[in-house]
Amino acid sequence: MSGDHHDHDHDHGHDHAHDHARTFRPDQDDTITHYRAMEIAVRELLIEKGIITPDGVRRAIEFMDGRNPEYGAKMVARAWVDPEYKKRMLADGSAAAAELGIDVGLLKLVVVENTDRLHNMIVCTLCSCYPRNLLGLPPDWYKSRNYRSRAVNEPRAVLREFGTTIPDDVEVRVHDSTADMRYLVLPRRPAGTERLDEAALAKLATRDSMIGVALADTP
Ligand code: FE
């Protein structure tokens, strides 16, 4: 390690001569963009003033990285078995998540329902906005320039490449996520699942079916 990136020893006082890059997470490179510099500056100040701690930041990142599609699948399975819950979920996704103990913070979550006439698909054309609270971290392809542009311009072709063929008489609607509004697709309940309980149904609600690039699995 170069002298510029030595570990910060918290036993000694804050020394402004130190390179603030020392607080980079180990997986980050050293490229300092405007926003990264701002993030480092704000984070260091908050730590210096005792408002947050490095361990607290680490814990928050660990929590965020630990989220996974099971949260979204739980909502989908509930909606499949409980029509009243489904109504509430389509009216207010954030409240419906909270109802199942899933914290989405201040995020506005919009749930879009697939039907026999309509197939929904989500994208963030600008960057990588994604319902992380419900699905975990987005897959690499979701963040790719290719998906971000083609999902809008030729959604059916993209769907076919994912192995998902949507009949011509079913409308395909693409939803563009933003920083403060996220979408979750409520896939159609697969046929032949009448006897399955909620836990078994949740296993069929895959990540990709909730992004809308696939249908829910069949049992
Ligand atoms: Fe984005």
Print pLDDT tens along the chain (219 aa): 333 333 333 344 444 444 444 555 656 667 788 988 999 999 999 999 999 999 999 999 898 888 999 999 999 999 999 999 999 999 999 999 999 999 888 889 999 999 999 999 999 999 889 999 999 999 999 999 999 999 999 999 999 999 999 999 999 999 999 888 899 999 999 999 999 999 999 999 999 999 999 999 999
Say whether pTM exceeds 0.75: yes
Is residue 177 among the annotated active site residues? no
HEC assignment per residue over the chain: CCHHHCCCCCCCCCCCCCCHHHHCCCCCCCCCCHHHHHHHHHHHHHHHCCCCCHHHHHHHHHHHHHCCCHHHHHHHHHHHHCHHHHHHHHHCHHHHHHHCCCCCCCCEEEEEECCCCEEEEEECCCCCCCCHHHHCCCCHHHHCHHHHHHHHHCHHHHHHHCCCCCCCCCEEEEEECECCEEEEEECCCCCCCCCCCHHHHHCCCCHHHHHCCCCCCCC
Q: How far is the CA of 181 from the centre of ligand 1 (A)?
A: 10
**How many whole angstroms from 9 Cα to the centroid of ligand 1?**
36
How far, in Å, from the CA of 146 to the mean position of ligand 1?
14
Respond yes or no: is residue 94 known to be catalytic.
no
CATH code reported for the domain at 4-26+68-211: 3.90.330.10
